[in-house]
Structure 1
Amino acid sequence: MTIQPLIDYIQRFVTLTDQDIEILQSKIFVRNYLKGQYIVQQGDICRYECFVLKGCTKTFYIDQEGQEHIVMFSIEDWWTSDMGSFITQTPADFNVQCLENSELVMFSYDIIEDLYREIPKLERFFRQILERAFVASQKRIVRNFSLTAKEQYLYFREQYPLIEQRIPQYMIASYLGITKEFLSKIKSQLILEQ
């Protein structure tokens, strides 16, 4: 597959010349993962920041009781990794696992540093991506504190309609911080309210 979706995505933020695109293509690579494969596991150092060309991933951590807590899903045109581990090159707090066969553009830590030097506008691009991720994370924290479970589910459905159809309900429940039974109850109430 071509990396054109990545180039299109970057060009929403900065303009790339043909030479920029050539440099970019020479530095990165595309990797295919099978459903169930891990991109990074808790405790390992996250070596890559990944752009999803095709597929779906989940980012989650396992607590001391063995309970899974999903913090993010990523589909086409989204980024995925353990960002904290990637930036600091320290052990990952999160696992990133493929929920479908996936095709990802891989940016290693060293390659991103090279790209910043060779295509300085990419540093601005990645800063903007990080800023957006930080804002989204902050807003999610506020929603978790201020919205009911039903309101959080409605927000999830409205914001991510393409994800809900692709993942099991128990994973949506984990993302929302509720049980799958409670999510079923919410969905039943919504059907009755229609």
Structure 2
Amino acid sequence: MNRILAAVAVVCLLATVALGLVYAGGHSPGSLDSAVAGGVAGLGRTTFDVLVLPTEPYVLLPAIAVVTGSCAYLRRWPDAALAVAGPAVAVGLNTWVLKPLFDRWKDGILVYPSGHTVSLVTVLAVLVLLARPKVLTAVLGVLLLCCAAIGMIGLGYHYLTDIVGGTFFGTAVVTGLRSVTPRRVPAPSAG
């Protein structure tokens, strides 16, 4: 399992870099970015405001606290550490390393990879890795991410490519950390 997670982390990191290099130093959207923005434009400000809520710190920080607290209660210390470290490491690296490195701007703000997306995806990735059933959690996470993406694009926060880059990077950090996190292996049954 650790090798699979490490491979996912490497592929997602490479995808983040590849996409970032395509748009590095840019100020304008690509054709896909423009098409998607045009496609969601008619939904309305209130809809966008609601859709973007899952990316806000006042939603994500309590979610991190609940996951961390639940893991601590169950004495799953490596899982509790992942719930805190995944988002913290990803947001820190994204803000202070990747955004300045790729230098993609929108309305005077660095936008690639999307910090809103990195924040949301890291929390969702932690949930997928820790929760059961994983498939249901993953499907709900993807739906939530798609809704948030529509909101971010509609409000003009990000281009679609910023969101895709943020998704890759958030996934890379959490799966990478999980691949090196020690986990308790259940003892074989004695009976």
* TM score, norm. by length of structure 2: 0.30
Larger proportion of strand: 1
With a CA cutoff of 8 Å and minimum separation of 6, indicate the structure with the bigger relative contact order.
2
Larger proportion of helix: 2
